[in-house]
Structure 1
Amino acid sequence: MQTASTVLMIEPVNFAYNSQTAENNFFQIQQKDADIQQKALKEFNDFAEKLRSKGVKVITVKDTADPHSPDSIFPNNWVSFHKDGRAVLYPMFALNRRVERREDILETIIEEGFTISEVKDYSPFEEEEKYLEGTGSMIFDHDYKIAYGSVSLRLDEDLFRKFCADFDFTPVIFHSYQNVNDQRLPIYHTNVMMCVAKEFVVICLDCIDDEMEREKVQEVIKSTDKEVIEISEDQLQNFAGNMLQVQNEEGTHFLVMSETAYRALTPSQIGKIENYCEIIYADLQTIETNGGGSARCMLAEIFLPKN
């Protein structure tokens, strides 16, 4: 159950740079371009079509113009769908991202033939300024019931532990950093530095500055018998950690990433990945630059049982 064959994607209506998330998402760069929405929509449609062409089921829901949610293209931060029938709503750091939580999207998932037996809502923790931004902040190893989490303003350690207790995951907690103007600042989401697939893990170990934490993460990965494919901090800056493994309905696996990420990889790294699965990559440059998120952020996996 590590990989899903169905994903949710949110079609952008008014995609834009979000100054609220840019407070601690250092991947964001504001472009002065009147065509950002049009370019983002084309990237979105081309990406969804590439997934569908490989047999991955993509459920798309259109964003709403009002209220304006510039980051709605990244649904994995506010919702996750689990094999026991539970859907989870998450507390979000940015005020203007909280409007992304829409009941009608859950209804659409049900209409597509899936069962939601319970909605687990952690969003009230926003009142305590505690945040846990879904599979942006947490990386799940479903087969081994392990959850990796890098502490930041987007992942509250206590809330992460609570989630893991509620969903029977073993938490692996650490801190990761990136260079920003000659400073080492926390990486906002774990999923930009780490991807767990069925038989391998792509990770930037160099951004875990604490040696004991780095060794602990390596030991946990080793216990799962998954190959470690290391990436550098420069590759991380090109979204090479922001990947997701999916499968089609025939069970064929694919590793999904952006073209930026793919071009940043070495032939050796690509070869190691292709030992396990085919790579799907798409041009997401406008979305990456203005949104500070990439391919993995655009996909909310659906593990729910079918009705």
Structure 2
Amino acid sequence: MSVQAPSAVVMIRPHRFTPNPLTAADNVFQVAEGVPRSSAIGVASAAFDEVTEAAHALDAAGVRVHLFDDEDPDRPDSVFPNNWLSTHAGGHIAVYPMYAVNRRRERRWDIVEMLKREYRVQDVIDYSGLELDDVFLEGTGAMVLDHAARVAFVARSHRADPIALERFCTNFGYEPLVFDAMDPHGVPIYHTNVMMGVATDFALVGLDLIASPARREQVVERLTAHGRTIIDLSYEQVCDFAGNAIELRGAGGERFLAISSRAVQSLRPEQLAVIERSCRILPLDVPTIELAGGSVRCMIAGIHLDRRPSVREAAGGAVAADAVPAPAIR
């Protein structure tokens, strides 16, 4: 078992997906010109299909997938739930303050209530009120969490306010490691999880994007302290979302890396070999979703909570007549 690799996830299947015009200014990975009105229906349909197929692929790999539909046309980025929700061992849930005004509508308490029903939840810490003071921390987009070493890696940006970060780290027991990260044109990286992904035995990192050589060495030191191998990504590979991947665990305990097909194609053979020594690569085709500047990691909110026993388990094998099935993939 690995504390880094959850075996259950939350995903949102959007019916009205489109790249968000309110996030284009600071997300250089997003298609800046947006989607023409004439092709909006086709783009939304393609995104719906991509999420459906990705969820089925994860389910086939043995991951428990809680798939929720979203038909709201005013939530263009709802396909990325990891920005407003994270879960943590010991029964803890965090809900986050979002930078873009139209993304604040993505927080769904029906999903939180599902987690309470299906998993052992001790508390829910809601940081969303910080939005009133223009303080933001966009979940595991802004933070890349090393759950084993309890380190929160954070690229400095207005989507990762130090006040909110300090509160999160104090409440959840992580040590913040903050650094400046920029693209070759000096534009700050908007979300840490675009340039970095931490798995059990390796980490995908765009090291050259970290501005300070000293800070870069500290990041490497912390990531390798427990024997991880660093896979150093070029900026071109970061642009292909090679850092935006997540390690998951199937029902049989097998670990695999969920990553976009575009990202896999960008990786060199020796980089792929490092990954495959530790886990299986599961490529997912999400080219339409990637128009919004995020990829597979952004689409998945990992569940690091203990499951409650099912009705059958609680009844010693007999299913109650009024048993309600778990809200899983459909």
Considering the TM-score relative to the shorter chain, is it more than 0.5? yes
Matching of residue 175 in structure 1 with residue 180 in structure 2: yes
Matching of residue 110 in structure 1 with residue 116 in structure 2: yes
- Which residue is equivalent to 1:122? 127
Write the distance in 2 (CA, Å) between the matches of 1:255 and 1:80.
19
- Which residue is equivalent to 1:61? 68
- Which residue is equivalent to 2:203? 201
- Kindly provide the CA deviation profile for residues 34-60 of structure 1, in whole angstroms up to 9, marking residues without a partner as x: 311000011111111111111111110
- Which residue is equivalent to 2:269? 267
Write the distance in 2 (CA, Å) between the matches of 1:115 and 1:165.
22
Question: Taking structure 1 as the reference length, what is the TM-score of the superposition?
Answer: 0.95
Which consecutive unaligned segments of at least 5 residues does structure 1 have? Answer: none
- Which residue is equivalent to 2:191? 189
Which consecutive unaligned segments of at least 5 residues does structure 2 have? Answer: 309-330
- Kindly provide the CA deviation profile for residues 139-158 of structure 1, in whole angstroms up to 9, marking residues without a partner as x: 11111111111111111123
Question: Taking structure 2 as the reference length, what is the TM-score of the superposition?
Answer: 0.89
Paired residue total: 301
- Kindly provide the CA deviation profile for residues 79-135 of structure 1, in whole angstroms up to 9, marking residues without a partner as x: 111111121110000000001111111122234x21222110111111111111000
- Which residue is equivalent to 1:133? 138
Write the distance in 2 (CA, Å) between the matches of 1:148 and 1:224.
16
- Which residue is equivalent to 1:296? 297
Bigger mean CA deviation after superposition, 89-98 or 14-23:
14-23
- Which residue is equivalent to 1:151? 156
Write the distance in 2 (CA, Å) between the matches of 1:233 and 1:124.
35
1:1-307 equivalences in 2 (<5 Å):
1-29=3-31, 30-32=34-36, 33-34=39-40, 35-65=42-72, 68-111=74-117, 113-179=118-184, 183-289=185-291, 291-307=292-308
Write the distance in 1 (CA, Å) between the matches of 2:144 and 2:211.
19
Check conservation: 2:18, 2:35, Cα contact below 8 A: no
Larger radius of gyration: 2
Write the distance in 1 (CA, Å) between the matches of 2:240 and 2:135.
29
Write the distance in 2 (CA, Å) between the matches of 1:10 and 1:73.
5
- Structure 1 residue 275, shift from structure 2 partner: 0.7
Find runs of 4+ consecutive structure 1 residues off by over 2 angstroms: 31-34, 108-111
Structure 2 counterpart of 1:54, one-letter code: A
Alignment RMSD, CA only? 1.1
